[in-house]
């Protein structure tokens, strides 16, 4: 049996991207941590069975990738609610990071249709919640975390923010 060429870390990452997989969704499917998948993809001497697993991954549609993302997020344990008063509440991490690519689960006014992708171009901390400036195909707008969380899902991918 002949040995196949070992894909470089960039080639391995390109393989999962070309098949519409994110590191988080791949970790979910393989039942390993994100860190494990990241280490495997970056390892120039990864065991051959992992290369076979990458090559055998099914190519997902955007809808299938979104369904896996949503299933993964549903299975994440809910954090217990804090009993700290609003005045003592520490600043928490934003739900979406700068440069996150989000997908619209339904139409968002005239700026995004269902399945459109948007790029988080700014994250702002308000007194009670975060606000996000998101660039959609129909333009950019600012959204409170509470109003946007039911309308979008994080794709697990990031984009490039262009300076204007």
Given this model, what pLDDT does residue 85 score? 47
Residue with tokens 């190519």: 59
Given this model, what pLDDT does residue 135 score? 92
Interval 128-145: pLDDT, tens: 888 999 999 999 899 888
Task: Give the range among 25-29, 86-90, 143-147, 149-153 with minimum mean pLDDT.
Answer: 86-90
Interval 55-73: pLDDT, tens: 999 999 989 988 988 888 8
Kind plus residue range of the DSSP H or E element containing 94: none
Which pLDDT band, with edges at 50, 70 and 90, does 82 fall under? Answer: low
Q: How many CA atoms are closer than 13 Å to the CA of 48, on its beta-carbon side?
A: 5
Across the chain, mean pLDDT equals 83
Span 156-164, average pLDDT: 78
Give the C-alpha separation, 122 to 14, whole Å. 27
Q: Which residues contact 117 (CB under 8 A, 6 or more apart)?
A: 101, 102, 103, 104, 155
């Amino acid at each position: 049996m002949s040995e196949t060429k070992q894909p470089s870390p960039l080639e391995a990452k390109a393989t999962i991207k070309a098949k519409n997989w994110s590191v988080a969704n791949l970790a979910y499917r393989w039942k390993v941590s994100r860190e494990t998948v990241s280490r495997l993809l970056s390892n120039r001497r990864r065991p051959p069975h992992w290369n076979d697993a990458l090559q055998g991954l099914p190519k997902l549609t955007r809808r299938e990738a979104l369904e896996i993302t949503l299933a993964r997020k549903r299975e994440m344990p809910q954090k217990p609610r804090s009993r700290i008063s609003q005045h003592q509440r520490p600043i928490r991490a934003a739900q979406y990071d700068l440069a996150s690519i989000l997908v619209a689960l339904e139409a968002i006014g005239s700026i995004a249709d269902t399945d459109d992708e948007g790029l988080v171009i700014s994250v702002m901390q308000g007194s009670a919640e975060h606000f996000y400036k998101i660039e959609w195909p129909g333009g950019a707008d600012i959204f409170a975390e509470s109003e946007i969380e039911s309308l979008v899902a994080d794709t697990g991918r990031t984009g490039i923010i262009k300076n204007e």
